[in-house]
C-alpha cells in the first residue's frame, strides 16, 4: 500500500500541493521560470516555522538527558546485577525530576505526517489523481523531476545540471558537517564508562546487560551526511527541500541553544 493513499497523508499532501502551486503562481512574476523552485523553499521554511515547538522540545529533552546522565550512570553501576531494581530506580529518578525517558520523542512522531506529506510533493508523479504539475517546472532549465543519478544513467547530464547538483549536494554536506561539529555534544565519560562496566559485569547467567551505546551514538552523529547521499538520488525538487530543511535545522538549533543558554557541549551555561 502506498503511504500517500492513507487518508490523513493524502489530505495533507493535497493541501500542501495547493499551497505550493499557489505560491509558485504568486512568485512567477518575481522569479520567472524558477518560481516553482522558490515556492518549494518558501513552503519548506513555512512548514519548519510551524514545527519550531518540536525543535524546542527536542533541545529541552536533550538538556534533561545530559543533566540526568551522571545519576543514571551511577544507578547503572550500582544495580547492574539486578535489572528489575535498576528499572524501578530509573523510573523513580524520572518521577523525582519530573522528566520522561521519552521526552522529545512524541513531538517528533507527531511531525512525521506533515514532513511526509511535504516530501511527497517532490516524489509523487500524481497527486489527487492528477499529474504533479510542480515536477514539470524547472530550475535554471533543469526539470525539478530530474535527479543526478537519473541524469547520469540516461546520459543526459550537462555541465549546467552537473554543476547545480554538485553545488546543492556540497552545501548539504557542509551544513551536515557544521551540524555535527556544533550540535553533537561529547559523550559523557561517566555514562559511557559506567555503561561499559555494566555490560562487562552483567554477563553472568541470569543477569541482564546494560548495552554500551557509545559507538552507536558516534555512528548516529554521522547521520546528517546521509542526506547528502540521498540528494543524489531524489528529484531536484526534493534536493531543494533537503537543503532548505537541513540549513533551517542547523540555524534553528543554534538559535534555540542560545536562547536556552546551552553551550557547545549541549549543557546549560553556568550563570
Return the pLDDT at 210.
Answer: 40
User: Which stretches of 140-206 are DSSP H helices?
Assistant: 148-154, 159-183, 189-201
Per cent of the chain over pLDDT 70 is 79
Break the chain into its structural domains and give their ranges.
3-197+213-260
What does the pLDDT look like over 56-68, one tens digit per residue? 888 888 788 788 8
For residues 198 and 114, the model is more confident at 114
Contact between 97 and 64 under an 8 Å Cβ cutoff? The reply is yes
Q: Which of 102-111, 140-149, 162-171, 214-223 has the lowest mean pLDDT?
A: 214-223
Confidence of residue 201 (pLDDT cuts 50, 70, 90): very low
Return the pLDDT at 220.
Answer: 54
Contacts of 204 (CB under 8 A, 6+ apart): 81
Contacts of 201 (CB under 8 A, 6+ apart): 80, 81
Q: What is the rounded distance in angstroms from the CA atom of residue 103 to the CA atom of residue 60?
A: 8
What does the pLDDT look like over 43-58, one tens digit per residue? 999 999 998 988 888 8
In this predicted structure, the answer to whether residue 167 has a pLDDT above a threshold of 90 is yes
In this predicted structure, the answer to whether residue 82 has a pLDDT above a threshold of 50 is yes
Highest mean pLDDT among 2-6, 60-64, 141-145: 141-145
Return the pLDDT at 22.
Answer: 94
Contact between 34 and 91 under an 8 Å Cβ cutoff? The reply is no
User: Which stretches of the chain are DSSP H helices?
Assistant: 7-31, 35-50, 52-78, 83-96, 105-120, 148-154, 159-183, 189-201, 214-220, 223-231, 236-259
Q: For the chain, how far is it from start to end, CA to CA, in angstroms?
A: 54
Contact between 76 and 86 under an 8 Å Cβ cutoff? The reply is yes
Q: What is the pTM of this model?
A: 0.78
**CA-closest candidate to residue 208, choices 76, 91, 74, 94:** 76
Amino acid at each position: 500500500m502506498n503511504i500517500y493513499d492513507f487518508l490523513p497523508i493524502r489530505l495533507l499532501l493535497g493541501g500542501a500541493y495547493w499551497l505550493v502551486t499557489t505560491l509558485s503562481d504568486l512568485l512567477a512574476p518575481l522569479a520567472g521560470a524558477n518560481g516553482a523552485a522558490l515556492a518549494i523553499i518558501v513552503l519548506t521554511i513555512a512548514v519548519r516555522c510551524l514545527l519550531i515547538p518540536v525543535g524546542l522540545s527536542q533541545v529541552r529533552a536533550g538538556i534533561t538527558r545530559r543533566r540526568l546522565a551522571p545519576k543514571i550512570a551511577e544507578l547503572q553501576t550500582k544495580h547492574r546485577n539486578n535489572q528489575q531494581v535498576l528499572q524501578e530506580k530509573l523510573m523513580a529518578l524520572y518521577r523525582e525530576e519530573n522528566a520522561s525517558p521519552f521526552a522529545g520523542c512524541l513531538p517528533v512522531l507527531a511531525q512525521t505526517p506533515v514532513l511526509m506529506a511535504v516530501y511527497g510533493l517532490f516524489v509523487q508523479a500524481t497527486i489527487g489523481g492528477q499529474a504533479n504539475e510542480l515536477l514539470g517546472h524547472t530550475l535554471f532549465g533543469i526539470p525539478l523531476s530530474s535527479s543526478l543519478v537519473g541524469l547520469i544513467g540516461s546520459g543526459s547530464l550537462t555541465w549546467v545540471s552537473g554543476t547545480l547538483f554538485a553545488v546543492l549536494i556540497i552545501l548539504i554536506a557542509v551544513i551536515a558537517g557544521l551540524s555535527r561539529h556544533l550540535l553533537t555534544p561529547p559523550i559523557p565519560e561517566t555514562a559511557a564508562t559506567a555503561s561499559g562496566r555494566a555490560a562487562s559485569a552483567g554477563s553472568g547467567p541470569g543477569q541482564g546487560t546494560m548495552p554500551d551505546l557509545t559507538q552507536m551514538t558516534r555512528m548516529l552523529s554521522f547521520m546528517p551526511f546521509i542526506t547528502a547521499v540521498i540528494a543524489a538520488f531524489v528529484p531536484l525538487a526534493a534536493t531543494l527541500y533537503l537543503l532548505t530543511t537541513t540549513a533551517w535545522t542547523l540555524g534553528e538549533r543554534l538559535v534555540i541553544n542560545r536562547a536556552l543558554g546551552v553551550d557547545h557541549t549541549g549543557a546549560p551555561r553556568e550563570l
